[in-house]
Amino acid sequence: MQEREEIVVGSLVALMLVIWLGYDFHYAPRFAGGSWGGILAVTGSALMLVPAVYIPIKRLKWVRSRTTRWMSMRTLLALHIYAGVLGPILVILHTGHKFESTLGIALTALTLIVVISGFTGRYLLSRINRAMRQSDTIIKQLQALQEDAGQEIRTASPEQAAELEAFSGFGGAIRRALFRSGDTRNAMASPVSRAVALSDTLADIEYSQRVQTAVKRTFKTWLKLHIVISCSLYLLMILHVWTAIHFGIRWFE
């Protein structure tokens, strides 16, 4: 289900970028102020306001408890995502590819940044969470196998147990690398070599999980930045609407 959503939303983001780059092929300086430009502007702006509603619902418990009585958070998140992509598409169409004013350029740039950062963070973070859950499961399985292998070695041969201790620590990492470069068939036939292989695999997965944790921590900072950029976008939208009204609006004539 989520994979299908990711494909659909990714296609919409790609469409938005194609439309934005259309200024090389299409330029209609009076379209934004005309009737169809006004319809696209109002519809797109209304859709872009939907994500702003999602933030207090998600962050404030008393708002969330009242809202989820008639709509689930999953449905609200879907509305947040689709409205947050469809709205910018309509707004960019509304411009008629007339990117001349400083306000218009800033508004378009922030719109693109908000959509792209939101898409990247939403689905990349989801993939990281799935990978971390899978890593947790694999680590537990490997630790159990490692413990069984160590117990087997200690029971069968104290000499092999002492040999296994030589592969621990920083120096052990070098010895494990040299050990792996030997005959794989003979190595895997030895209980010590199986324990070493398990330790190596476990170390690799634990390192990968630490990297994923660091990336996830970075995305928490990204989320705060995404909210700040979104608020800046709404302020520019308000200013844009005010200037359109102040200097004479031609919509719906």
Q: Is 194 exposed, middle or buried (0-12, 13-18, 19+ CB in 10 A)?
A: middle
Tokens of 29: 């300086």
pLDDT above 80 for 5: yes
Would you say the pTM of this structure is higher than 0.75?
no
Averaged pLDDT for residues 138-151: 76
What does the pLDDT look like over 84-122, one tens digit per residue?
Answer: 999 999 999 888 878 778 888 899 899 999 998 888 877
Lowest mean pLDDT among 143-157, 177-191, 198-212: 177-191
Highest mean pLDDT: which range of 8-17, 57-66, 203-212: 8-17
Where exactly are the structural domains of the chain? 2-130+226-246, 134-208
Q: Are 153 and 161 in contact (CB under 8 A)?
A: yes
Q: Specify the long-range contacts of residues 202-211, CB closer than 8 Å, at least 24 apart.
A: 202/139, 202/142, 202/143, 202/146, 203/173, 205/135, 205/138, 205/139, 205/142, 206/139, 208/135, 209/132, 209/135, 209/136, 209/139
- How far are the Cα atoms of 17, 94, 140, 230, 251 from residue 117, in angstroms, in the given order? 13, 22, 34, 10, 32
Lowest mean pLDDT among 40-44, 45-49, 173-177: 173-177
pLDDT above 60 for 168: no
What does the pLDDT look like over 193-237, one tens digit per residue?
Answer: 666 677 777 778 888 888 888 887 877 788 788 888 989 999 999
